[in-house]
Amino acid sequence: MKKFNLAAVLIIAGFGFVFFVAIILVAALALSREGGFTGWGGDRIAVVYVEGVIFDSKTVNEHLKMYADDSRVKAILLRMDTPGGGVAASQEIADQVKWLRNEKGKTVVISMGSVGASGGYYIACAADKIYANPGTITGSIGVIAEWVNYGNLLKWAQMQPEVIKSGEFKDVGSPTREVTPREREYLQSLINQMYEQFVGAVADGRKEAGLTREQIKQLADGRVYTGEQALREKLIDGLGNYDKVLKATAEMVGIKGEPQVVTPPKPRRGSILDLLTSTDVGEMLSHNTLQPPGSSLQFEYLWK
């Protein structure tokens, strides 16, 4: 009787172990569909997305860092569909790309979708190769700062703004009054400095393509280019859709056949409370909520 019970226990335990392994395998397959995990072995390419206006670098940089020490990830494909965004945010993502290449030895390739302009192009210049579609909008090398002056509206409403400041330029760009000539000169000096930083980033990234700083300045008047034009001007390295660029990236790092692709895990679908308290939404809701749209002075690498 005891032998029978022991055998029964072993059989049940065996079935339990098989069931547990099956659950793990199913979970692994589910994760592979959602992104983030596709098995235990084999060389692979990580695909990270840069989409929409770039307000903050945190999410993209976390996704890039996720693959920094994974020896199975031979290359990172940055799939881009963005008109650019904040100056500092674009620079931070570009710095992360350089870190991956220089410190971690990763190959980073850009695949542009509909748009890869301004801050998006700034980021692209930090990669090993840049690809776009023939009709992709790219370029827009330049800086913009704009805001809405609603001073006349306040006068109409018989509202008088009062400002106490510690220096002449403390409230430069105030939406309640016109810019003084000295303030305009000061703002233009900041724009010029950020513009030179942009040109320097392009010159550094495109030197192997044979572009000089002087040639870049002729192209860097804020205009956009199609993918075909950008290739002709040596702003990108080739034309192709996502699948073509993926295969080209695999060839660059010696992966034969169809490359195995991993992507960052998708955000967990939580409750409404989770949504409202998340960092990204919190930053969005706190972003100039007490001011009318366009009233805050911001410096941007952004195609409008």
**pLDDT top residue among 84 and 149:** 84
Q: Pick the range with the lowest mean pLDDT from 40-49, 64-73, 117-126, 253-262.
A: 40-49
Instruction: Answer yes or no: is pLDDT of 278 > 80.
Output: no
208-227 pLDDT, tens digit per residue, is 999 999 999 999 999 999 99
Q: Is residue 44 part of a domain?
A: yes
Q: Is residue 15 part of a domain?
A: no
Kindly report the three-state secondary structure assignment for every residue of the chain.
Answer: CHHHHHHHHHHHHHHHHHHHHHHHHHHHHHHHHHCCCCCCCCCEEEEEEEECCECCCHHHHHHHHCCCCCCCEEEEEEEEEECEEEHHHHHHHHHHHHHHHHCCCCEEEEEEEEEEECHHHHHHCCCCEEEECCCCEEECCCCEECCCCCHHHHHHCCCCCCCCCCCCCCCCCCCCCCCCHHHHHHHHHHHHHHHHHHHHHHHHHCHHHCCCHHHHHHHCCCCEEEHHHHHHCCCCCEECCHHHHHHHHHHHCCCCCCCEEECCCCCCCCCHHHHHHCHHHHHHHHCCCCCCCCCCCCEEEECC
- Per the structure, the complete domain to which residue 172 belongs is given by 40-267+295-302
For the chain, what is the mean pLDDT? 86
**pLDDT top residue among 20 and 216:** 216
Instruction: Answer yes or no: is pLDDT of 29 > 70.
Output: no
150-172 pLDDT, tens digit per residue, is 888 888 998 988 999 999 999 99
pTM of the entire predicted model:
0.82
186-214 pLDDT, tens digit per residue, is 999 999 999 999 999 999 999 999 999 99
Q: How far apart are CA 274 and CA 292, in angstroms?
A: 27
Active site (catalytic) residues: 118, 170
List phi, psi (to 5°) of 129: -140, 150
**% of residues, the chain, pLDDT over 70:** 77
Ramachandran class of 254: left when φ > 0, alpha when ψ lies in -120 to 50, beta otherwise: left
Q: Is residue 153 part of a domain?
A: yes
Instruction: Answer yes or no: is pLDDT of 30 > 70.
Output: no
Which tokens is 204 given?
A: 């550094």
Q: Is residue 126 part of a domain?
A: yes
Domain total in the chain? 1
Average pLDDT score over residue span 270-281: 56
Q: Is residue 27 part of a domain?
A: no
Assign residue 67 the CATH number of its domain.
3.90.226.10
> 93 near 124, Cβ under 8 Å?
no
Query: Which pLDDT band, with edges at 50, 70 and 90, does 103 fall under?
Result: very high
Q: Is residue 7 part of a domain?
A: no
Q: Is residue 32 part of a domain?
A: no
